[in-house]
Amino acid sequence: MIKKIGIMTGGGDCPGLNAVIHAVVRSAVNSYGWQVLGFRDGYRGLVLNDYVELNSDSVIGLLDRGGTVLGTSNKDNAFDFRVELPDGGVEYRDLSAQVISNLRADGVDALIIIGGDGTMTAAELFHKLGVTVIGVPKTIDNDLCGTDVTFGFNTAVDTATGALDKLHSTAESHHRLMVLEVMGRYAGWIALASGLAGGADIILIPELPYDIGKVQAAIARRRAAGRHFSIIVVAEGAAPLGGEMVTKRIIAGSPDPVRLGGVGAVVAQQLEQLTGMEARTTVLGHLQRGGRPIPYDRLLATRFGAAAAQALKDGISGCMVALRGSDIVTVPLAEIAGKQRLIGKDEELVEIGRRLGVCFGD
Ligand code: F6P
């Protein structure tokens, strides 16, 4: 019998996290009479037992608010936790046992963990250690297995599409090449969706290594047809055939220490040399992660939050709530942990793009 649950947001933030918290707390308190503890800053809060009590009043106004009121971290891992030593040194320790004893001491019967692949992988490990846990899939990258869509993705696509709309008019006026670099890590979902929605001429994604000569040829074809500008969307993980992704920095201790970034400038410089046209680069960066969730994401986050609480009520554990078609389902964390959902060879949006004349550089 559940009396008290914990909730936590881990990994990079994304629009809709607060809407999940809102839905979980409202269902837990109103429908099931549970107490809710909100652990701060992802797994860090569970290790340090840093939490705040949440009730219906604490979630007023959260539905449309960006970020997460609980705070988050994409570098703290309870199984490999950074500990600062008295002599100034640093050590990484498995502090999962401390998390479990904190939960016992707090009287927390079950956890709802909201996060991306790194957070879900750790959630699965806690499930194996006997913790009752339900995962909720978030990430702007849309690269989580088991669900058709993650909340946050469509808000990021909305932001990137809005940027493309604005870049079009200035590109056309100045007869320039405009390169927009978008996030997505090793997946090209944001680039693909915003590129198609924003009418990009060229879309470069990690799943399809590009040949810069083919991009140059696509621009030449457009010029021959009287179009003296081109819009190029580049996913941060895009790489040339036989080449490497561009790394911006390495974050020590993070479950995924690589931070990508910079490929947009590389592509722009190469195209300027190859085509003789002026090129400019816009890096959208964290603008894609911040701000209010669009209604689609508020609704998906609300459905996920309510379903996560319901799953606990139904005695389910070790699963993640997911969207399959138009239904919310639960999938075992074991099936999705450690995996990424990349754009497949037969992806419909790529096929449609090709039919419309979009160049993927391959
Ligand atoms: O996973 C979300 C994401 O925004 C990626 O698209 C991006 O590569 C990464 O996080 C950026 O991480 P940070 O916030 O640490 O710069």
In angstroms, what is the span from residue 259 Cα to ligand 1's centroid?
7
For 297, the token pair is 């994401």
Q: Is ligand 1 within 6 A of the CB of residue 260?
A: yes
pLDDT (tens digit per residue) in 44-99? 999 999 999 999 999 999 999 999 999 999 889 999 999 999 999 999 999 999 99
Burial (CB count within 10 angstroms: exposed 0-12, middle 13-18, buried 19+), residue 293: buried
| Residues forming the active site | 141
Residue bearing the CA closest to ligand 1, atom 16: 259
Give the separation between CA 133 and CA 320, rounded to whole angstroms.
Answer: 9
pLDDT digits (tens, 9 = 90+) for 108-161: 999 999 999 999 999 999 999 999 999 999 999 999 999 999 999 999 999 999
Amino acid, single-letter form, for residue 353? G
Give percent of the chain with pLDDT exceeding 90: 97
**At 226, which amino acid appears?**
G
* Contact partners, residue 189, CB within 8 Å, separation at least 6: 141, 142, 143, 153, 343
Pocket test for ligand 1, best of 140, 190, 247, 283 (most atoms within 8 A of CB): 140
Cβ(184) to ligand 1 under 6 A?
A: yes
Question: What integer pLDDT is reported at residue 56 of this predicted model?
Answer: 96
What confidence category does residue 256 fall into, taking pLDDT thresholds of 50, 70 and 90? confident
Question: Going by C-beta distance under 8 Å and a sequence separation of 6 or more, which residues neighbour residue 223?
Answer: none
Q: Does 138 sit in the ligand 1 pocket, CB within 6 Å?
A: no
For residue 140 and ligand 1, the question of a CB distance below 6 A is answered with yes
Q: Whose CA is nearest to atom 10 of ligand 1?
A: 12
Q: Is the CB of 74 under 6 A from ligand 1?
A: yes
Specify the DSSP class assigned to residue 31.
I
pLDDT at residue 255 above 90? Answer: no
Q: Are 329 and 321 in contact (CB under 8 A)?
A: yes
The residue type of 306 is: A
